[in-house]
A = this chain, B = another copy of it.
């Protein structure tokens, strides 16, 4: 069964250990911010720092595990049609739009959408860390350290598949930041098998 996430919104749901979560970009060129919490102890959460450290790589793809702040594997990427995702940047937020875009009345962004969707699971906004940003294309210049946010490389129907290695609560968005999505806002779809 395919679930839809409307443009600039988010969702939260559970995925059991051993299940597979497929995140699909139905129209192409759209980013989905993904968070994971250990359902039996919600203080255990996805950690970009642990994951990148153990991978010795900032771009992750098929075969790579995503670690928690307690160095346990939460998810593993088992299929990846795109090969470029971001794990450096926090979910876009009202502050992002204020600071980076100069918006006076900023959208609540993926951060606000994740906070609202995860609130019933007891997650407070302060507990939202760097997300695994599916399809987000952030090439880094290794010499200068500068990076840019480029349109995603995903084409219509491309997907990435994660296998859960814990019972999880997942937060997932159709990203709200114009720059991340090549200037457009599109939906995201997901499936749990």
Encoded as 1 (CB less than 8 Å from any B CB) or 0, chain A from 35 to 49 comes to 000000001110111
Q: Which residues of B contact A27 (CB under 8 A)?
A: none
| A139 close to B (CB within 8 Å) | yes
Residue ID in chain B nearest A99 by CB atoms: B54
| A16 close to B (CB within 8 Å) | no
Q: A126-B69, A141-B142 are in contact. Are A89 and B52 (CB under 8 A)?
A: yes
Contact status A147-B48, CB under 8 Å: no
| A148 close to B (CB within 8 Å) | yes
Q: In the assembled complex, how far is the CB of residue A4 from the closest CB belonging to chain B, in whole angstroms? A: 27
Chain A interface residue number, banded: 35 or more
Contact status A58-B126, CB under 8 Å: no
Alpha-carbon separation in the docked complex, A142 to B145 (Å)? 9
Residue ID in chain B nearest A91 by CB atoms: B49
Q: Which residues of B contact A142 (CB under 8 A)?
A: 139-143
Contact status A145-B48, CB under 8 Å: no
Binding site for B on A (CB under 8 A): 43-45, 47-50, 52-54, 56-59, 69-71, 88-90, 93, 95-96, 99-100, 124, 126, 128-130, 139-148
